Structure 1
Amino acid sequence: MKVDSFGKYRNFLLPLADCISIILGYYLMSVLITDSFLMNPTSTITAREILISIVLSIIVFQIVFRIFKRYNTVIRYETNQDYLIYIFLSIISTIIVSLIEELILHMKNPSIKLNLTVGVIIGLLIVASRLILRYILLADVVNKGINYTSENQKKLLIIGGGYSANDIIKTLNTTLKGRYDIVGIIDDNKKRMGYSVAGVRIIGTRDDIGRICEKYNVDTIFFSIVTIDNKNKKEILEICSKTGAKVKVLPDLRELITEENLYHSLRDIEIEDLLGRDPIRLDNNNIKSLIQDKTVLVTGGGGSIGEEICRQIMLHNPKQLLMLDIYENSLYSIELELKAKYPNNKIKAIIANIRDEQRIMDLFEEYHPEIVFHAAAHKHVPLMENNPTEAIKNNVFGTYNLVNACDKFKTKKFILISTDKAVNPTNIMGATKRVCEMIIQAKDKESETEYVAVRFGNVLGSNGSVVPLFKKQIAEGGPVTVTHKEITRFFMTIPEAVALVLQSITYAKGGEIFVLNMGEPVKIYDLAKTLIELSGLKLDEDIKIEIIGMRPGEKLYEELLMDEEGLEETNHEKIFIAEPKNFTMDDIEEKLDKLRYILDNDITDKQIIKDTMKECVPTYKNPQEVNGE
């Protein structure tokens, strides 16, 4: 039967199938009463009475089934719950028929037990008819697909023997029948060995993955465990990476609730799977009281961090959200997104350059923001090494303009987005961000505004981050470029970074630098190697990793604290406060005058600029000093 044909005639075919089930059900009941009802006219129930029961049943069943919309279900997607409903409604319908016969037609009815029996029999026959139709329909869908032969079948191993694996296997055996040859399931519960899930046997634990992949020439692995801690997830994925098979991962349960088909939820491996730690969860319960009914300004609102700050701020119902950026395309995009989601809230996109002191002052005078999140900055290390004066203009004096505007117009809180590259900086970008930290710590001492900074590491998925670059290089056939085999970085997700930023304002008293404990740093070479292997490729055979040398201003190991800063705990186990330094604005103005001299005199000599920056930031060092070269 063609799917299209069934859809056209389903309003006729389904009731007809139910009528046939009712007739067969009453015939089987007659067999229970006598050896041969048709050949025994002396039976206590006559043929006329059976015929009346059948006609009544057809009418009652049709009414009941239509009331409960049993003809509106999609046969291919019916579940065991639907089948139980069919049986239950069949029993109810049979009881209604019996009451009509006894109370209205005054017919002599069989026992209640027999009535219930015939209801169950009819219900089972109706379920059987639905299962037959479902089989025919699914077979038609499969036949429309690609015809896979043993030559183009993929050998598949499934990790995890739970509900997700069950649903994936069912999908593969119906709509994708023949595409995969499932060799078995891996499950660490040894008591399950030899058991089957949806017809596929559990054949080993994580320790057997390598052996099984080699034995069966497995070229694809589905990781289907959605309730697993990141430590064990990382360990299993590392085992999988050594097999040469391509690995796909099922998302966590929060992502799955929006997906109807688990197979289509499988995704390629992500860096979050390889961090070896659970995502950091922050308690934002106090944030609402600080943001609700406030005018909030986000600079760099079109950037990857700024956009997420704007999204999370809107969850707390601000009086007005001001999004400021110099780049119109990205700002326009987030404005459309938020206005569509929050049509009744005040959301304004502002094109402005934080270097323009007068423009900034005019904006503060017009809107009087109560909270400012400062995410606008030049952040790319090699670019800023080649354009140091641009980093100074934007990062240092852009921040200086905002800090002064906040002070003049009595802004309540100012939050600077800083970076781990500000710690013992080895590049212009990091040094300028360290100057920004010094500015807000000094300004806090003489202003009513509370100034704080939030310092974190590399953000996954942000513009220019390493993971999208690696994926692009792998997709293009390589090579994957790494600057140094020993280089390491701290990583965090964008939601984690933004949650820290928002959390910081609940602890802020002024002058603090907040630091997030991000666990162990990740070696970039190992990250690239694992991403290659989990893409089903072999390192050095299919794709190579090329060591291209350290970039200007780059150092091997990022740090989150300077040695002299120390740590102070907060109420959150993952957030710490660096001890404030004793800077005054007079100290800072003296440093800024040196930087102004460079800009005012159009000095372009990079060595002079770096020497001046070292005078302003005593912890600023050449990369060679830090990297031990």
Structure 2
Amino acid sequence: MNFEMKNKSLLITGGTGSLGNALTEHILNRFPDIRRLIIFSRDEQKQFQMAQKYPIEKYPQIRFFIGDVRDRDRLIRAFKGVDYVIHAAAMKHVHLAEYNPEECIKTNIGGAQNVVDACFETNVERVVALSTDKACAPINLYGATKLTSDKLFVAANNIKGNNPIRFSVVRYGNVMGSNGSVIPFFINKKKEGILPITDPKMTRFNISLKGGVDMVMHALEHAWGGELFVPKIPSYRIADVAEAIGPDCDKPVVGIRPGEKIHEEMITPSDSFYTYDLGKYYTILPATHQWKLTDFIEEFGAEKVSEGFSYNSGENTEWETVESLRQLIMEHVDSNFLV
């Protein structure tokens, strides 16, 4: 990677989350000459814990900034002097969003618009916003709010005028081992000898924290503005995850929760008209963009997907097995989970 951050300042909203922590570790290791890395979040306890891991005596670049993306003025103050923004803050639990819809809307939609506004009020150069597979053809409120957020960041490129800022989005599936995800849940429930399965047919996309970090950094470096990047990643069956973690556990089928799908999607047939294959990633391009499509295709060797193409976890061509899941869990989540 030729991308440099020397004398640059980067801010991560929701920076105390799983991906925020992984991004922080990657950036400090890969770009030790970064001028400033700002962790922006509203959770003071997590900031306190993270500050123990990254003491300022050893990491003089790092700063911790208490704030909420719902607070536009606080964002503007935090963004002053910032070159790059990674927007990872979100309310993400599907069932909690269904029960508390207004709170989800305030954070995921209002917060996204506040980030866009704060970027225009300051001198931010590049913005990468995190999306989710649940934003594709959403059936739950969380997915609907993240689809709206995606649209806000993509459309921001249309109103920037002569401002050189670039907004892009990355969309991926379940991050292996992230807070609140199924693998830590199953590892914890294994102690009780029972792993409740929503539906034996249920599938999900799977990406490691490292894969998520790599994708964000790819977008930060390569985005021209308006792209929505989608990784080519394997799927897993929820039943296989349960088997990998607790082969001797009871596995009662409890039914899907409100707002859940059996299979997740990341690209629909309707998206195929704007979707290009970049090799490691797909990208859904905006209907209107501020650059020449022919130049983009030439620069990245982009190939248009066929009309009607779709990408969902149930019809994927690449799958994790019980054994590969065990190996991945030991590598990326908990090396002692089999004990």
TM-score clears 0.5: yes
Q: Residues of 1 paired with 2:153 and 2:184: CA distance?
A: 33
2:23 counterpart (309, 327, 333): 309
Q: Residues of 1 paired with 2:226 and 2:197: CA distance?
A: 37
**Equivalence for 2:204:** 489
1:544 counterpart (250, 253, 257): 250
1:432-581 paired onto structure 2 within 5 Å: 432-447=145-160, 448=163, 449-478=165-194, 480-519=195-234, 521-533=235-247, 537=248, 543-566=249-272, 567-570=275-278, 573-581=279-287
Gaps of 5+ in 2: 290-339
Q: Partner of 1:482: helix, strand, or coil?
A: coil
**CA apart distance, 1:582:** 4.4
**Equivalence for 1:399:** 112
**Equivalence for 1:332:** 48
Q: Partner of 1:324: helix, strand, or coil?
A: strand
Gaps of 5+ in 1: 1-284, 538-542, 584-629
**CA apart distance, 1:346:** 2.2
8 Å contact kept, 1:301–1:325: yes
Q: Partner of 1:545: helix, strand, or coil?
A: coil
**Equivalence for 2:102:** 389
Q: What's the CA shift string for 1:256-301, capped at 9, x where partnerless?
A: xxxxxxxxxxxxxxxxxxxxxxxxxxxxx123x1x22211110101
1:72-111 paired onto structure 2 within 5 Å: none
Q: Residues of 1 paired with 2:14 and 2:140: CA distance?
A: 22
Moved over 4 A (4+): none
TM-score (norm 1): 0.44
Q: Partner of 1:348: helix, strand, or coil?
A: strand
When structure 1 is superposed on structure 2, of 559-568 and 395-404 the one drifting more is: 559-568
Counterpart amino acid of residue 154 in structure 2 = Q
Q: Residues of 2 paired with 1:580 and 1:427: CA distance?
A: 24
Q: What's the CA shift string for 1:294-330, capped at 9, x where partnerless?
A: 1111010110111111111212131101110100111
**Equivalence for 2:93:** 380
**CA apart distance, 1:338:** 2.2
1:401-440 paired onto structure 2 within 5 Å: 401-440=114-153
Larger Rg: 1
**CA apart distance, 1:383:** 0.5
Counterpart amino acid of residue 394 in structure 1 = T
Q: Per the alignment, do residues 345 and 524 of structure 1 end up closer, same or farther by CA in structure 2, a change over 3 Å counting?
A: same
Q: Partner of 2:269: helix, strand, or coil?
A: coil
Counterpart amino acid of residue 324 in structure 1 = F
8 Å contact kept, 1:324–1:352: yes
Q: Partner of 1:424: helix, strand, or coil?
A: coil
Q: What's the CA shift string for 1:90-118, capped at 9, x where partnerless?
A: xxxxxxxxxxxxxxxxxxxxxxxxxxxxx
Q: Partner of 2:47: helix, strand, or coil?
A: helix
Structure with bigger RCO (C-alpha 8 Å, 6+ apart): 2
8 Å contact kept, 1:311–1:338: no
Q: Per the alignment, do residues 344 and 333 of structure 1 end up closer, same or farther by CA in structure 2, a change over 3 Å counting?
A: closer
**Equivalence for 1:354:** 69
Q: What's the CA shift string for 1:139-170, capped at 9, x where partnerless?
A: xxxxxxxxxxxxxxxxxxxxxxxxxxxxxxxx
Tell me the C-alpha RMSD between the 2 structures. 1.7
Q: Residues of 2 paired with 1:415 and 1:344: CA distance?
A: 24
Q: Residues of 2 paired with 1:295 and 1:377: CA distance?
A: 22
8 Å contact kept, 1:565–1:580: no
8 Å contact kept, 2:135–2:144: yes
Q: Residues of 2 paired with 1:339 and 1:327: CA distance?
A: 18
**Equivalence for 1:16:** none
**CA apart distance, 1:344:** 5.2
Q: Per the alignment, do residues 426 and 452 of structure 1 end up closer, same or farther by CA in structure 2, a change over 3 Å counting?
A: same
When structure 1 is superposed on structure 2, of 502-511 and 328-337 the one drifting more is: 328-337
8 Å contact kept, 2:11–2:37: yes
Counterpart amino acid of residue 180 in structure 2 = G
**CA apart distance, 1:362:** 2.4
**Equivalence for 2:12:** 298
Q: How many residues align?
A: 283
Q: Residues of 2 paired with 1:498 and 1:344: CA distance?
A: 20
Counterpart amino acid of residue 115 in structure 2 = L
Counterpart amino acid of residue 346 in structure 1 = Q
**CA apart distance, 1:530:** 3.1
**CA apart distance, 1:568:** 1.6
Q: Partner of 1:445: helix, strand, or coil?
A: helix
Q: Partner of 1:547: helix, strand, or coil?
A: coil
**CA apart distance, 1:353:** 0.9
Q: Partner of 2:129: helix, strand, or coil?
A: strand
8 Å contact kept, 2:86–2:127: yes
TM-score (norm 2): 0.80
**CA apart distance, 1:332:** 1.9
